[in-house]
Every structure is written in structure tokens, then in C-alpha cells.
A and B are shown apart, each in its own frame.
Chain A
Amino acid sequence: MRLGRRIGLLAILLLTACSSSRPKPEGPPAPAPLGRVDFPSYDKKVLPNGLTVYALEYHEQPIVAIRLMITAGAERDPANLPGVAAFTADLLNKGTKTRTATQIAELIDQVGGTVEAAADMESTNITARALTDSVNVAFELMNDIIMHPAFSGEELARDQQQAASNLIANMQDADFLADAVFQRVIYGNHPYAHLQGGTLGSIPRIRRDDVVKFHNTYYAPNISALAIVGDLSSAESFKLAEQWFGSWQKKDVPQRNETEIPKLEGRRLVIVDKPDSVQTKIRVGHTTVARKDPDYFNVLVASYILGGSGSGRLYQTLRAERGLTYGAYTGIEPHRGRGDFYSTTDTRTEKTAETLNLLLDQIQKFRSAEVPPDELSNAKSYLIGSFPLNIEVPNNLANRLTTVFLYELGDNYLKTFRDRLADVTAADVLRVATDKISSENVAVVLVGKANGFTHQVEPLGKAELIPIDALDLDSPTLRK
């Protein structure tokens, strides 16, 4: 270390000696304060069938972004059949009562637009974009695929083959495996553990009836929101919404099942052995507060300080100081129920234990003392200050509006969330760090060449070692 420093100083001298002929700039004056930036004004309307419509005008380019969110996703898959929500969404643009998959693709491609559908954990999103001169085509197709999907057996079979091939490919991808196993370990049998696209066990068992039933049950205007952001007046947007979605029939959608989410007691260490790896993928974490919980903002600030950016403690310790990894981050995946709080990194096989121990130490350290004022204010100023960057383009604006709808954050949310962030104190952060963040009651998932590190991580507790060929994501034990 000492030697390293001396060489370092010498190098600095050499470099600055060379640079000294160049004039050094003086420091700039401090940035002028930026006036308060508000979310652009928008109009909201609920149609008689219960569909919530947001219209936001954006005239910078002749384009329109459309996002229809149905607040039902993989979470509503039948318990033993993950993937149904995903297949339902995927099949939407693969044929309607009057159009084949190819005709749908031709029609939207012809105008340079897109219409896509995908299921998330708690929502299904049908998104479209089009130049303003062809916005009618996008709406007409959205209407057709949502209201009159064919769900043909042939398309389902084709989709199943694609999904299975895709999953087989993913099952060799260490990052994918680490994430999937982590979800299983922290959520147990709760639907949040579902592999959203289905598993190798469930994909071939999905029948047309399952998909039709999902569509009949959950695709309803009264649990959905439509955001239209683009080069249209609000009046034009509302007119389009009524024209294409006004006749969508309201339904009695079953209530969400608030199944209890298990809490981890102690450390569960799972190692997936992938012998051809040169790196180990590391995931550490547990479940955390729901998106609407009053502590959400406290946990958010905590997660940002611990590892939300290149200035975070994990990145600074693992990457900047030690060169152990290309990235180390902490984040929250929010849900209506308990979300997940995760730390993620990777490192060369032989550094697995060193990296993991440093990561756990950082979490423990974070729980043991109040964060210094500058770290707190930096975190808050990022989370508050980045707001203008996140409202720049139509797609992001539409996304923000439907997110507020999904988590029922209220019409005031986009105006007030910065004040709520500003209210977070160091004591709040320490309280959630102590009560809601843990390095002891955690899932630790390692995917890599097990014989290169298993002996090193023994002190952390008993590991479940699963060879990649024996891994079964359908099973709570994760084994075939």
C-alpha cells in the first residue's frame, strides 16, 4: 500500500509536470438556481366504462406515444401456471377476428409506427407510437387487438416454441439465472416469485382456454388507464379515446389476493454451479415495503445512498477502490405488495468471497450509523433534481402517468413527491436501515463456477449447492 502510494505520487508529479504548460481553468460560479420545474399540465377524464384517460400535449415533433395499462399481470397467473399473463399479452398482436398476425404487422410497419404488448408483474401494457399523421392506424389496431384478439391455436403453438427456445437460451445466462433464483428465494410461493414469461415446466402446459380466460377476466376498462402524449390537443386525444375505447365493456374483476409474503429468517445462501463461468453473479437482498407505504421514500433514499449510482457506497468500495467489479448497485423493485430490495454485482471467480463479504459489510455498516449530512443531501438532490430529466420525452411522460395510476398514488403525487423526498431525515434513513434492511436475514444468490469459491464462502453459512442441470425454477426447493 505504502509503495503503491509512493509510485502514485510520482505518477501524479509526472503527469502534472507535463500538463503544467496548459492553463488551468478557474472554477465557475455556482449554478444559478433553477426555477421549480413542474410536471407538464395534463387533462384527466374517466369514461363511462371506467377507463381513466390522461391527455398530455407535446408538440416538439409530429409524434404520439400511447400507453394503455391494464392493472393485471403475471401476479394473476394461475398458481401453477406462470406465463399465462405473458402469453395473453404476446398473442394480442398475433391475430384478431379480422386480421392475421402478418396483416397487423404490415399495417403498423407501413406507417413507421409500432404496437406492442407485454405483461409485467402487476400490469399488462399495450404501447403504440406513431407519427401524428397516422395516429388513427395505431388506435384502430390497439382497439382491435385488445377487444377482438383471435388467440389462435397455431399462434399459441408458435409462441410456445419461441418462448421455450428463449428460456433455454436464458437458462445459460448467469444474470438471468441469478435474478430468477433470487426472486424465488425471497418470495417463496407468492406469485411475485413467478417467472413472468413462464417456466420450462409451465410453457408447454398453457392452453388456449387459459389465455382466453385471462383475457375475459382481466382485460377490462375499469381497471385500466390510457395515456396519450403527443402532438394532439387534449380534446382530440379524448375524442380518440372515446372513439376507440368507449365501447369497451366494463367487467367485475376479481379482487387481488393479498397473500402473505414470507419473511426470511436467517441467511439463505444458494449457489448455482455453472462450471463454464469466468465470473460469479452476486445478488443479495430481501423483500421490502410496498410502493404506497409511508416508508417507501425513506427506503428509496437509503437504497440510493447504499448503491443507487456510481457515487454509491457499493460502487465506490467494490469498483472505484478495489477494481473488483464493473458495477455494484442497490435498488428497489416496487410492487403494490412488498417489493424487493436488492444489491447486485459480479466479479471474477477467485474474488467471489472477498466481494460478497465487502458487500455484506457495507450493508451492515450502513445499518450501524446515521448517514452523514452531505451523503443525505446529495442523495436527495439527485432524486429531486433528476425530475426534469425524466419528463423530457412522450414515452416517459406516459409511463409516469400510468405508474401513478397503478400504485394509486393520487393526482397530487407528481406535484408533491419531491416535497416528501425533501422531508426524509438521517434519522428516518437509520430507522429503515435498522428495521427494514438486513445483512443477516437475506437471500444470497451466487451463480458461477462453484468449485472456485464454495470453500471461501463457507463461513457465511450453509450453502445450497445446485448444479445448473438440476435447477428447477418451478420448485420451491429449486431442484428437480
Chain B
Amino acid sequence: MRFCLSLSLFLLLQAPVTRPKPIVYNETTLSNGLKLITHEDHSTPVTNVQIWYHVGSKDEKPGRTGFAHLFEHLMFKGSAHIKPEEHDKIITNAGGVSNAYTQDDVTVYWETVPANYLEKVLWMEADRMTTLDVSEQNFKAERDVVKEERLTRIDNPPYGDLNELLYDNAFQVHPYKHITIGSMKDLDAAGIEDVREFYHTYYVPNNATVVVAGDFRTNQALEWMKKYFGNIPQGSKSIVRPSVTEPPQNKERRVLHTKAVPLPAYVAGYHIPADGDPDSYPLVIASSILSDGRSSRIYRSLVYEKRLALEAEASGNFTEHPNLFFATIILNRGASMEAAERALNAELSRLATEPVSDTELDKAKNKMRAEYAFGRQSVQEKAQALGHASVIHGNTATVNSEYDLFMKVGKDNIMRVARMYFGPENRTVLIVRPK
């Protein structure tokens, strides 16, 4: 058996390394500012459509936290030709699926449908980009749904509110301070008049990107997109992006929290640069070495060898503006919080003081290589990657070009970013103990 093992490793090292296939795309901008991105994929007769609106919870005005997400719900409440709740019905009756999500930076609407429905979906999206039509009654019912969503996701689950607490303490001035779902108080304060202003400011072609990936001919798709979106006028209101910069943190912040949780937890957030920053690439590779897979450093030390943690991981939340790198532990029953924190910090310092091994660096890059292949199989995943590159990076070409940046990350780079970002003064720690 051992012989087989060394043989296969030998073969592996000899074999040329396969590069995942790039996503081939076409990109154009209409005169009203709407960006169009297409990717043909004829392997299955399925097409995914995504409309990316460049507005998220960081764009909310004071006293209206949660509004971007509440607004996302309202986009299903009817437009000139589509009755409330009819959007999903049309899609599911076609055998498709549709949904939407709101994040700090963007709100994205998507549909995956049998390929013959592309034109209809584009028409439906254009309809709600131009003629959204929400009644007061539907507004209120949907606001209740969102409050219920907050209860389901944040308030009821044992660890549901940790993110909210951490962000509130880690950020002082940047709007990432509040989480996307917002506060109950602000949701209650939101009214139908906010809907109009938000819609006319942000839901305009010059703030949107349409991505389609799937089984169509590019020329045909472009023709339809121009037909349905081309004559929508640009927005007349100016879009002001948040411009505050979070001041550097130079002292560790610690928050103690007592809650009805089954096991104690430790969460630390370290300030890191934005998605696409040169330092983000070594940070992603570092997180892979720290906690991707059962051979990763944190898993081996905290979960496997020392048995301190039920779960432990470290990974960055990379967004349009600088965000946080998380190190999280859910303690094993009876394990010591101090020992777990020490073991975790030992791994972070080790990354800053000694170079990672060749094997570990290769492993992290192979994982990234696999991620580029396995994470881009479906038309939805491909459209998602294109939309992210275009809207968050402002450069669609990064959908393929970032691959080389990951492959070029060197040991010295990893040490440098670990030293730069993983110091105690740069972190906010949340210690959660059971009531």
C-alpha cells in the first residue's frame, strides 16, 4: 500500500498541472450606463440571469439600517406588468428558481431558468427596474416578514447575534458597523416614502450590471437586453458613496458577552484591506493554510491534537471597503477559553515569524486551483464570479486574472501580511460565555 501511495505522489508531481478553464465573456455598456456581461455555455439548456445593483447596507442613511435588504424584498411586490408575488410564480412555473440577496455593498437578483426563458426573464427584470409598484399594505406585511427573518437568523439561534456585536465594536465610523439585516427599531421607522427615494436613487441603469450566463447566442441575448433595458433613462439623482474611512485601530478591544449558548465561543476580528487589494491575495492563501481542510494548522492544533475546539477557523471577509479577518472558535465541552485563545494566537504569530513550508504553499495553491474549477461549474456560479469582478473590483477581467495573483503569492508575502494585520492591537475580541 505504501508503495502505491508513493507511486501516485510521484506521478502527481510529474504530471503537468491542469489550469482551470477561464470564463470567456463579452462586455458592453449601454448609453444609459447599464453594463451588460454575457457568457455562453451550451453544456446544459439552462441560463442564469443576475442583476447587480451597486447598493448595499453600507449605503443606508442613518436611522434606516436594514433598508437595502427590506427594499430587496419589495422588488417581489409587483411592477407594471407583474403582480405582487407573481415574479416567483412565473419563474417556478417554468421550472426555474429565483431569489435575491443583499450584502454590505450590493443587492443581487437572480434567476436560473430553462434556456428558452431568457427573453422573458430579461423583460421581467426590466419591468421591475422601471415600474416598481408597492402598496402600503404589501409594504407593511413585507416589513413584518423581514422582522421575522431577523428573529430567525439573528435573535433566536444561540450564536446568531455574534456578528452584530463584533461589527458594532470593531467599527466606529464606517457603515460596516451595522449588519445588513439592520435593527428592529430602524425597520419599524422605515416607511413607504423611503421606498421611492431609494428606488429612484439606486435602482437605475447607471447603477446596475446585468450578467447572463448559459445556453444562448451572445448576439441574441444582447439584442434582447438592448430592447428591454436600452430605453430606460439614467437616474437623475446623484449617487453618493460612503466616503468615511475607519481610523486605524491601535489598541485591542475586548467585549465580554453572556448569553444562552450551549458552548463558549471566541471571535476575533482583525482589520484587513478591501477585496482586490494586493494584500488580499496573500491573506486568502494564509487563511487556506490556517484553516482549510483537516490538514490545516488551526484544525490540526485546536480541533484534532489539543481537542480544545468543536470548530475553529480563520478567514477574511473581503468586501468593497476594508473589512475584517475572522478567527473563530466554538469550544469543546470543558475546554479552557484561555488555552484555546493561546493556541489560536500561537498559529497566527507563527505565520508572522516563520515562513510556511513549500508543501503548505503548494497545497494552498492547489486548493485555489480546485476552487477555480469546482466553484465555477454551474451557470449561476459563473455569472456570480463575473458580477463580483465587475461590480466589486470594477474590472471584469479580474474574473480570470486574479488566478495568477494567487499562484504568485510567495512565503515572504504571507509573513509580511501576517505581521501587518494579525497583531493584537488590530483586533476586536468577543468572548461569549453561557449564561
Q: Which chain A residues have a beta carbon within 8 Å of chain B's beta carbons?
A: 4-5, 7-12, 14-16, 18-19, 21-25, 27-35, 37, 60-63, 93, 97-99, 101-102, 105-114, 129-134, 136-137, 140, 144, 148, 158, 161-162, 164-166, 168-174, 276-279, 309-311, 316, 319-327, 346-348, 378, 381-389, 391-394
Residue of A nearest to B127 (CB): A25
Query: Is there an interface contact between B16 and A388, defined as CB atoms closer than 8 Å?
Result: no
Q: Report the bound CA distance from A107 to B12 in whole Å.
A: 11
A385 and B95 contacting across the interface, CB-CB below 8 Å = yes
Contacting pair A10 B366 (CB below 8 A): no
Task: Return chain A residues, CB-CB under 8 Å to B261.
Answer: 172
Q: Which of A97, A98, A279, A393 contacts B151 (CB 8 A)?
A: A279
Q: Say yes or no: A19 contacts B81, CB within 8 Å.
A: no
A60-B43 in contact (CB<8A): yes
A133 touches B15 (CB 8 A): yes
The interface centre, meaning the residue of B11, B18, B232 with most chain A CB atoms within 10 A of its CB, is: B18
Q: Are A162 and B130 in contact (CB under 8 A)?
A: no
Q: Is B367 an interface residue (CB 8 A)?
A: yes
The listed residue (A102, A108, A393) touching B378 by CB distance below 8 A is A393
Contacting residue for B363 out of A102, A109, A384, CB 8 A = A109
| B81-106 interface code vs A (CB 8 A; 1 in, 0 out) | 10011001100111111000000000
Residues of A within 8 A of B88 (CB): 309-311
Q: Are the C-beta atoms of A62 and B377 separated by less than 8 Å? A: no
Docked complex Cα distance between A311 and B98 (Å): 12
A381 and B156 contacting across the interface, CB-CB below 8 Å: no
CA distance A25 to B81 in the complex (A): 9
Q: Are B120 and A5 in contact (CB under 8 A)?
A: no
Judge whether B59 is part of the interface by a CB distance below 8 angstroms: no
In the complex with contacts A60-B43, A323-B142, A348-B148, A109-B117 CB distance below 8 A: no
B370 touches A113 (CB 8 A): yes
B120 proximity list for chain A (CB < 8 A) = 28, 30-31
A392-B139 in contact given A23-B232, A62-B373, A136-B11 (Cβ < 8 Å) = no
The residue of chain A having its C-beta at the shortest distance from the C-beta of B331 within the complex is A165
Instruction: Tell whether, in the assembled complex, residue A279 and residue B95 are in contact, meaning their CB atoms are under 8 Å apart.
Output: no
Residues of B within 8 A of A (CB): 1-2, 4-5, 8-9, 11-12, 15-18, 20-21, 41, 43-46, 80-81, 84-85, 88-89, 92-97, 112, 114-117, 119-120, 122-123, 126-127, 130-145, 148-149, 151-152, 155-158, 192, 195-196, 200, 224, 228, 231-233, 260-263, 292-296, 300, 303-304, 307, 310, 330, 332-333, 359, 362-363, 366-371, 373-374, 376-379
The answer to whether A381 and B142 touch (CB under 8 A), given A279-B152, A389-B112, is: no
In whole angstroms, what is the CA distance A383 to B93 when docked? 9
Taking A25-B123, A61-B20 as contacts, is the C-beta distance between A11 and B158 under 8 angstroms? Answer: no
Taking CB atoms, residues of chain A closer than 8 Å to B158 are 169, 172-173
- Measured between beta carbons, the chain A residues less than 8 angstroms from B367 are 109, 112
Q: From residue A174, how far is it (CB to closest CB) to chain B in Å? A: 6
Given A61-B377, A385-B96, A23 and B130 contact (CB-CB distance below 8 Å): yes
CB contacts (< 8 Å) of B144 on chain A: these are 322-324
Complex Cα gap A162–B41 (Å):
43
A309-B88, A393-B377 are contacts. A169–B310 as well, Cβ < 8 Å? yes
Given A34-B116, A323-B140, verify A311-B366 contact (CB < 8 Å).
Answer: no
CB <8 Å contact, B141 and A165: no
| Alpha-carbon distance between A384 and B45 when the two chains are bound, in angstroms | 14
Inter-chain CA distance A279–B154, complex, in Å, is: 11
Q: Given the complex, which residues of A lie within 8 Å of B133, measured CB to CB?
A: 12, 15-16, 19
Docked pose: A174 CA to B153 CA in angstroms: 12
B residues in contact with A110, CB < 8 Å: 295, 359, 362-363, 366
Q: Which residues of A contact B152 (CB under 8 A)?
A: 279, 326-327, 346
Q: How far is the CA of A31 from the CA of B132 in the complex (A)?
A: 23
- 3 tightest Cβ-Cβ pairs between the two chains A and B: A385-B95, A323-B144, A112-B370
Are A165 and B332 in contact, with the CB atoms below 8 A? Answer: yes
Contact B333 A19 (CB under 8 A): no
CB distance from A410 to the nearest CB of B (A): 24
Q: A310-B89, A325-B148, A386-B95 are in contact. List 8 more A-B contacts (CB 8 A).
A: A8-B137, A12-B135, A15-B134, A25-B126, A61-B376, A109-B363, A131-B369, A378-B92
Q: Interface centre among A174, A325, A386, by most B CB within 10 Å?
A: A386
Note all chain B residues with C-beta closer than 8 A to A137. 8-9, 12
Q: How far is the CA of A33 from the CA of B138 in the complex (A)?
A: 35
CB pair A131–B130 under 8 Å, yes or no, is: no
Name the B residues within 8 Å of A321 (CB-CB).
141
Chain B residue, CB-CB nearest to A63: B373
